[in-house]
Structure 1
Amino acid sequence: MNTDQSKRNALSPVTIIGLGEMGQALANVFLQNGYPTTVWNRTAAKAEALVKQGAVLAATPYEAIQASPVVILCVLDYDAVHEILDPLGDALKGRVLFNLTNGTPKQARDTAQWAKDLGYDYMDAGIMAVPQIIGTEAAFILYSGGNKESFNSNKELLDVMGASTYLGEDAGLASLLDLAMNGAMYGMLAGAMHAISVVATERIKAQDFSSELLIPYLTAITGIIPNLARQFDTKEFTVGVSAKLAMQQVGFRNIRQASKDQGISTELLDPIQSLMDRRVAAGFPDDDFSAVTELFKTPKQ
């Protein structure tokens, strides 16, 4: 028996259900690291490249689950999760299911309860990576639900996909942090695309502007986040102020007006201006920008 085959036999088999871009990336990294890998996808043709690398294509979800003690599910949404798993009943007993499907904390908690009722180990996860960086040092994945012992016993396998962190037994935590961070990401990307649109009106190339000015500026600005976070935690919005909200309010009006003057919509900026205006009008002109979070609070539905 050669060394590669010996290593392969020593590693735990793993099953990947769902072969979209992310699912394929997950399966590919397990194959590259020598894990015996079984895959299943509703459209079997998506498995062709993986099969050529050594993956086993299961004919059914049941067959895929039976092939491995560890099952990783990565499909479009939770409707798809239940379409696949509900007909299987308690077939997952004795196995650990890691659900890497994107969804809400409520969906994660409901699915965890469903799994508990059927008597099998379940953890929800949030992938903080794009498919292209799965398996690299830049990727990390958050896990919650189940128990710490089960996570620890599978950590070596999980780390193949990206650095793994266990958040606790509340199955909704991974999803909550995942969506919160991605919300911040989309806010940043939307702001960046607005800025690019504004400067492009003067024939400034987006690539030059972004690489030479925008990215260095945004990178530097992230340095104020810890102070804003401290203000949020302590509710001391006038301590360690980087710029008073009344001053930022005026500056932001200039950003909106310049956008209008250049023929660029302000629909992305208008809600931010509204938050500043409301906070200042409520009698808090000396607050820092973090104080607008006081306006975010709404009763839970």
Structure 2
Amino acid sequence: MDYRLLEAFRAVIDAGSVTQAAGALGLTQPAVSAQIARLEAEVGFSLFERSGNRVRPTTEALVFREEVERTLAKINDLSRVAEQIRTGEMGALTIVSHPMAGVTLLPPVVAAFGKARPETRVELSVRNSDMVRSLFPSRTYDIGIAEASVDPAGLTLTRYRMACRAILPKGHALAAHEVLTPALLSGVPFVSMSRQWAAHHLVEKVFAAADAHLNIVATSELFAAICMMVAHGLGVSIVDAASAAQFEGLGLEVRPFAPAVLYEVAVFHSADRVPSAIARNFLDLLDAHMGTFLSPVEQP
């Protein structure tokens, strides 16, 4: 049934006149009369009794109107929902991330995104980088975030690079230095990323180049855990800028580190599938958030 016939029916009941209903709908009187005739043919009963220029709904029409109102309300709701989906205001978004981004980078972005779009649902999963990459052929996830060493085949990928920061417990003697170096941290108890993460090897490389002793006393797979161990006085460390900024207020001294240790992350989605409007909106928000401490280094 053409919903425009239902709109014409409602307009005629509300106006009590085909001519006035036509004016409200922006149609001619014959056009509205034809629509009412079509609707009567479809439903199989008379809708109006004519009396001069006025019309009066039949008993059947009054019963029918209740259903028409519900139906048109549902159509209006569908139009609103379709518009929200089209503009990225409604829908579902699935993200899988390696721990660094999942714990530090993404939570404030997901929170801001969700508050601005209460009709959306975001699911965030945290896996190691290799697993993040392996999940994408399944099309289960909209967006992936991992260490930048991921194989880019079949992905549309943006790489971000940040200069890492040295972190110390509050009141540590080395906090007197404006910039920390491998020589200054040589032999100092150091809390390191686990060897399976790229950050460990980046730090190990700059210490070796400076002939400095990397005195590892503890390791973790999470920058967040490292920050908390340092805040509790276990040692010093070098972490990404986002983690340093997030945990600085919990008992850390944060200083630049030289030479630069550049940690990269990759944000990607499947190349053979156009991101939804909601995914594009999230990627824009994430890009703006990363801009506070990151710079894009590659965006094929």
So what's the TM-score if we normalise by structure 2?
0.23
Higher strand share: 2
Name which structure has the greater RCO, CA cutoff 8 Å, separation 6+.
Answer: 2
